[in-house]
Structure 1
Amino acid sequence: KVDQVCLGSCTNGRLEDLEEAAKILKGRHIAEDLKFIVTPASASIMEEAVKRGWIQTFVEAGALVTPPYCSFCEGRTMALMGDGEVMLGTNNRNFLGRFGSAKAKAYLASPAVAAATAVKGVITDPAHL
């Protein structure tokens, strides 16, 4: 079980990453009691993702879409976790205490696994949706 899913930042926030996740999330909603944060890698990627309708797909699925910034890799974000919480992210950092409590767990995955996990609330292979 995961408490939050983080998709994007400078790592895995590219157009192809957002497209992959949006295809999985189209017409679906995230799991109850899950925080799903999406951060495009740059302003130009955000603009293109808006044009292609992917940002709307994320919002309709229940995601919180942030402005582009380093976000999750930085460890100073809306993704901070408390003791015992579990996060799955597409970022490139998951060392102890990076996201708040040293008693939280952070797993790294592909954008497709992140989207599937956001739907199910547990770490999920997208082939099992």
Structure 2
Amino acid sequence: IQSITMDLSQLEPVTAWPHLPENVHPAAEAPIEVDQVVIGSCTNGRMEDMEAAWEILKGRQVKDGVRAIVIPATMQIYKECLKKGIIEDLIDAGCVVSTPTCGPCLGGYMGILAEEERCISTTNRNFVGRMGHVTSEVYLASPYTAAASAITGVITDPRTLMQTETPVETEKEAAA
């Protein structure tokens, strides 16, 4: 038996560029503008994914002109997000939160990309036309990277936002 020890804090966040999941580049490589962010669906809509996005978005705002769609994977996860206040904070940040469903990931509805639009998504495929028009582009990323990109409007290494001071407390926290 072989044991390998790695310092995971040294790994750099990556994104998969169009049009293959294995077309991987560092998230910080190029500030590519995005029109839409999708966090969740049946793939990467687990509780830890919702909490990762929440960690980045809580107390911050999605950039004007960017659509941010959040889809918990199951109704159980959706209900847990409600109980923890995650849904409210994501809505306050400017996200649209859906009940669990298939949607933009397969180009079915809600978040279909138009001609030449770009999306960063936590889903699992970025093939030509997967989320809409054949000239649209889908970049795959972690929930941290997707949430950071929703705030900046460009593909963003989430560590740049995690190193900044804690955002101003929300009205909800101030009232508590």
TM-score range, shorter chain: over 0.9
What is the deviation of 1:103? 0.5
Checking the alignment, whether the CA contact within 8 Å between 2:120 and 2:146 is kept in structure 1 is yes
Structure possessing the higher radius of gyration over alpha carbons: 2
Kindly indicate whether structure 1 or structure 2 has the higher relative contact order, using CA contacts under 8 Å at least 6 residues apart: 1
Other-structure match for 2:169 = none
What is the deviation of 1:82? 1.1
Please list every run of 5 or more consecutive structure 1 residues that lacks an aligned counterpart in the other structure. none
Secondary structure of the structure 1 residue equivalent to 2:34: coil
Paired amino acid for 1:30: V
Checking the alignment, whether the CA contact within 8 Å between 1:72 and 1:79 is kept in structure 2 is yes
- Verify: 1:24 aligned to 2:56, yes or no: yes
For the aligned residues, what is the CA RMSD? 0.8
TM-score relative to the length of structure 2: 0.72
TM-score relative to the length of structure 1: 0.97
What is the deviation of 1:79? 1.3
Choose from 89, 112, 121 the match for 1:89: 121
Question: 1: distance between equivalents of 2:35 and 2:108?
Answer: 17
Instruction: Compare the two structures and name the one with the higher helix fraction.
Output: 1
What is the deviation of 1:100? 1.3
Please list every run of 5 or more consecutive structure 2 residues that lacks an aligned counterpart in the other structure. 1-32, 162-176
Question: 1: distance between equivalents of 2:106 and 2:77?
Answer: 19
Choose from 49, 65, 69 the match for 2:101: 69
User: Would you say how many aligned residue pairs link Structure 1 and Structure 2?
Assistant: 129
Give the 4+ runs in structure 1 shifted more than 6 A.
none
Question: 1: distance between equivalents of 2:74 and 2:134?
Answer: 29
